[in-house]
Chains A and B, each alone.
Chain A
Amino acid sequence: MAETAFREGYVDADGFTIRYMQAGEGAPLVHLHGAGGLRLSPAHELLARRYRVVAFEMPGFGNSPVNTRTETMPELASTMARAVDKLGLDTFNLMGTSFGGKTSLWLALQQTSRVQALVLEAPAAIRQEGAAPPAGTPDEIARRLYAHPERVSAPPIDPALRAKAQPLVQRLLGPHRDPDLESRLQDLSTPTLVLFGTLDGVIEPRMGRIYKDLMPNCHLVFVYDAAHAISTDRPEAFTEVVSDFLERHEAFVISRAETVIHP
């Protein structure tokens, strides 16, 4: 269902032709995907009801040519910032998933005044020692990513395309703790929402607290009964808290839930 509402587009940035999927109207929400590549989820569709969602496919992922040029994560972030420029977006919200969470942190550091709020879905910028990315057959990968594989609607990412991007992922992901990034995060005051699924088997949910330790304006939310791919496992729950945070930033802690049963 998610695919239909989204329209495909391309922008050129830093010599790469970058594909994106776009839907919805409202404040822009730029999404940077995880190490497997771009795969639309029901959460994209739900978010597109309130936001102009632009989900990029970063150079080297999907059907784009092998990316041997980008050497570092800050470099990839800077390329993606140029891609956002090409869409004419001055200020925007930024959401990064896993690998793309680290890209998003660098992008926010580079473009502090443009990123209004940052959402990090199971970000891979800080990992437990020895954390292993999902690998193997599509089934094996699905078992690592999802608590509810039955909720996955999009077809699995082609193993060949996933494999093709892995050298890039390995080159850019960096160590499990990255002192350079972490020291910079202490000055990043962008409103930030970090989400971890309680069943994340790729990056331990306890990594979430380190972002809060480091970042001055960070909020941590656990999504119950979700694994690494939170937005696929629990799209409604994910969208509700993300939308609320994007709208109200830190005031999202004030409940608007109504409990009147009958007037």
Chain B
Amino acid sequence: MKVSFFETVRYQAPKPLPSEWPVPSGIYNPDAGARAYRGMIERLEFVEALGFDWVSVSEHHYSPRILTPSPIVSAAFLAAHLKKIKVALLGPIVPQSNPVRVAEEIAMLDTMAQGRLVVGLLRGTSNESLTYDLNPTESRERTDEGMELILKAWTEPQPFGWQGRHYRYRTISIWPRPLQQPHPPTYALGVSREACEFAARHHLGCGVSYGSFEGVGRATKYYREQCARYGWQPSSDDIIYRANMLLADTDEEAQDMLRKLPGQAPFSMRPGVRDAMMTIDSRNIAGEARSPIVSGALPTTFIGSPDTVVEQVRRCRDVVGAGVIDVSLHPPGSNELEPLMRSLELFGKKVLPRIRDI
């Protein structure tokens, strides 16, 4: 099992924040922001020393929950400060990006980071479509087309034009190309039928997140079936599972932490927006309709003492087939640093060495 640390930048607000998304940016405290990014580097130096394989970053906007609106900037900063650990850019929200720019920036960063980059491409969570005025009903199609264009930009040796549905370019010829050839290890992120099929068709990995083992396992099973249809077999390294982890010395302590968690997402959309989004934004797990996630806390699927968590990781390997777990170790909804650092140390010493062979 490979292990990735999901870095979200812990912004500690000097004053209580409103709970509505988008969070007014006037409340942002620049000094607290600077502390958060400094703290990120200190934490990740520790993460690297503990022997994690990857550190991952994601794209989220308009709130302090995950302070990385531009994941490529985060990834570049991390790659420059850290020495050995791979940087997993999971990832640019494709439908609201310029795919050619994404291809260029990733190629550039992969080269500057001496091939230490891992890439995930995704549609993004429901609220993110509000960020740059993206029509949620077009986001699926824009994602598929954008991902295909990114792959083409990385691999096509001659200048080419792209006559798409949502993107049109008359001439594309990126410099530099990625150091890792033909491109960095790339995952289509998401549990949908479309994401799994895209990954299978283009021989990419598949990254799933936050659902129960059984839930995301339906998606990874579908992904493997589709790969077989396209005549190849993915390895366990081709499947990433991102999840919350609540780790404590004993199961009781971990369960106690879980009880104290808020049941709501830290920043939620206004009810009218949320309800409208529920009807507009269509989502599925391996083809089976599911509700878009617009409120409610994300589940915690690894929870307990080190012994318990090691067994859960083993079960995750069996049920999900994941060869990489991307863990969020801070208690969901909390921005306290101390519990995070305690879990991190416990994970590094008591869990990590025991899940290598899983």
Contacts and interface: CB of A to CB of B under 8 A. Distances in A.
A and B bind = yes
A194 to B, nearest CB: 9
B170 A234 contact: no
A222 B152 contact: yes
Contacts, number: 56
B163 A212 contact: no
A22 to B, nearest CB: 26
Given A252-B170, A253-B170, A255-B170, A222 B161 contact: yes
Nearest to B168: A257
Contacts of A146: none
Contacts of B148: 198, 224
Contact of A238 (B152, B158, B163, B171): B163
A221 B158 contact: no
Q: Which of A198, A252, A255, A257 has the most CB of B within 10 A?
A: A198
B30 interface: no
B162 interface: yes
B156 interface: yes
A255 B163 CA distance: 13
B159 interface: yes
A213 B170 CA distance: 18
Which bucket holds chain A's interface residue count? 20 to 34
Nearest to B171: A253
A223 B163 contact: yes
Interface string A212-254: 1100000111111100000000100110110000000000111
A240 B163 CA distance: 9
B145 A225 contact: yes
A209 interface: yes
B164 interface: yes
A187 to B, nearest CB: 19
B145 A224 contact: yes
A62 to B, nearest CB: 29
Given A198-B148, A255-B170, A222 B162 contact: yes
Interface in B222-262: none
Contacts of A223: 163
Closest 7 CB pairs of A and B: A221-B161, A224-B164, A209-B158, A253-B170, A212-B158, A223-B163, A220-B160
Interface of A: 195, 198, 206, 208-209, 212-213, 219-225, 234, 237-238, 240-241, 252-255, 257
Given A208-B160, A209-B157, A237-B165, 8 more contacts: A221-B161, A222-B161, A222-B162, A225-B164, A234-B163, A240-B163, A241-B163, A253-B170
